[in-house]
Amino acid sequence: MYLALMNQDLIAKVASLEENGGLLPSAAKNMKTWLEGGFLSETSLSSLGELLDAGNADELNNRFYREIAFGTGGMRGRTIGLTATSLEKGDMDTSGSPANPGVGSNMLNEYTVVRATLGLFAYAKAYHDREGIATPPKFVIAHDVRHFSRFFCELAASVWAKKGGEAFIYEGPRSTPQLSFSVRHLGATCGVVITASHNPPHDNGFKAYFSDGGQMVPPNDTGVIDQVNATPFVGLQDYIGIDLSKVTVLGAELDEAYAQCVANCVIDQDVFKKTDLRAVFTPIHGTGAVATLPALKKLGLDPLVVPEQFEFDSNFPTVKSPNPENSEALAMATKLAEENDCDLLMATDPDADRMGVAVKGADGKMVLLTGNQIGSIMAEYRISKLKEMSWIPEEGGQNCALVKTFVTSPLQDAIATNHGIKVVNTLTGFKWIGEKLRIYQDEACEKSGLSDYDSLSLKERADLLQKYSTFYVFGGEESYGYLPNDTVRDKDANAACALFCEIAASLKAKGSSMLEYLDAIYLKNGYFLEGLGQLVYEGAAGAAKIARILETYRSTPPTEFLGSAVSKFTDFGVETVLDPDGKEIPKQDLYFVELESGYRYAVRGSGTEPKIKFYLFGKEGVSGADELGAIKSKTKASLDELKEAILADAGKRAES
């Protein structure tokens, strides 16, 4: 009765704030739905009362203007409000840890996690019924080090078990690629990682995978979305209490199996015996501490670690952002590497699916590489090494493929093409690369009659796939995500660290350096440079601006920049685009603009952050090493000027 009276009082306050205080109609509607649902705890009701009494319409609008989207990759958003209430904060100001997730339909909290898990279970159960699978749906959950990650992990496992499914969790934080591996290793129906990758500390996420170990793609993604959206709010309270009595906690054998999987990515493990590779590693307070380091040690490597960043910490206190592509996040590692005359440093983000690196320059200082440069180095080395070891023919072949995203450097297209290797471009998001791996595996198994693909060694897979389908030689994306082979079906920073160490050791043994190797790639393929421009628009008003930019690109595409006319405009949301395998690229609001100058750029809204991104690509021919320096400077100046013009144009479109 007491909670019912609280609900009625708060509903009246919502109506008043909507009428007089700037509460958006959509926010008011969602607040009423939540208050009338009867599932909110006293803590959540008190928090809403505090915000309503303060007349904080801006905070309530951000929390309730929409339902947090369960998109094709799951959910990601704030779990700590911009203005946290007293009960949500608890002693956060002194301890650094909030007491409760923020209440709101656009927040990641106990209610949205329960609803998402119920929807996922409903889809998994229906899938089992359709496929004639008699056993209960099997679900694996991993989590990173963020605020409430363990709570959300245990909550999801509890919900699954209460519904009659089998749920598996780890005893502590684990990396995203280990979840992908575990889904396949355990034969699970699906899996989830509780993570927001390298987002700010106030965010968290619910990232969903299916039985192949890859992020969900059609029809599974849309099927799960439909089930989540159809899950009623009424009754959520029945699942809020956590019961782990029927949940299985995975043991050390899964950690060992995954560490061996990472070590197996190095196909020339003898190279580490030929030289003394000196490296630094930092997990930036994340799961790389329990994922990357054990795998490197299994290979006989013992990198120096940054002690201040080795402990788990939800606030990532030593960096502005736990993003390994930012030089600021690598400052401590850089200092340690230069003090110890190291050859390279490696850093992983909180869930260890992205890797950033810096390498020693001629002056002994560390030089930060871009995600495109790292991927290009890996692609050239991997293809060359596979040829050297006779895994693939010297002339290449169209039954071997490098798989990358459209917005990743065309240098990698050139590298693969010059090696005689097929290039397959996908939409942004590693799930599309994972889908390709599943398609290649399924085709090979169907044609060969093989039923136990996962029992094959990497060499046996290479032979099978080249005979019956397509062998994946390497893949990645510009945003620091790479995957050396198909044992895991998502980007894997742990495996990327192992592979990059293999490359560094090989070059050092030959008396060469990583930067010399990169320049040799440019001399062979031409000089390529990439740039990224982005505009950040927070909240409800920001989402409208991002939508406006995307809408106007479709309705009134640009015609020229800096005196160079647009020679080609591709709208992936309208046009039919086929990949080299003849598969149609799914429709998406992605635009490619090519200029007569030979430069080009792509436009897309971020799927995980409140921003719109512009990916710029410059290319110049190189006739000799003596002109490479001048060409690098010229290309950078041209690309910077183009980026400024593109962002200025986008700003006008946002306000139009």
Which residues form the catalytic set?
Answer: 197
One-letter identity of residue 586: P
Quick check: helix, strand or coil at residue 565? strand
Q: Cβ–Cβ contacts within 10 Å for residue 292, how many?
A: 31
The Cα–Cα gap between 371 and 523 comes to 19
Helices 493-509/176-186 angle, 10° precision: 110
> Environment class of residue 311 by beta-carbon count within 10 Å: exposed (0-12), middle (13-18) or buried (19+)?
exposed
Nearest to 496 by CA among 504, 361, 522, 400: 504
524 near 621, Cβ under 8 Å?
Answer: no
The Cα–Cα gap between 288 and 295 comes to 10
| Helix residue ranges per DSSP H, 282-370 | 288-298, 331-339
| Helix residue ranges per DSSP H, 231-269 | 252-263
Element (H, E) at 60: helix 57-64
Token couple for 203: 């965010």
Secondary structure (H, E, C), 16-55: HHHHHCCCCHHHHHHHHHHHHHCCCCHHHHHHHHHHHHCC
CA 498 to each of CA 267, 301, 487: distance values in angstroms, whole numbers, following the listed order: 10, 9, 15
Relative to beta strand 190-194, strand 138-143 is parallel
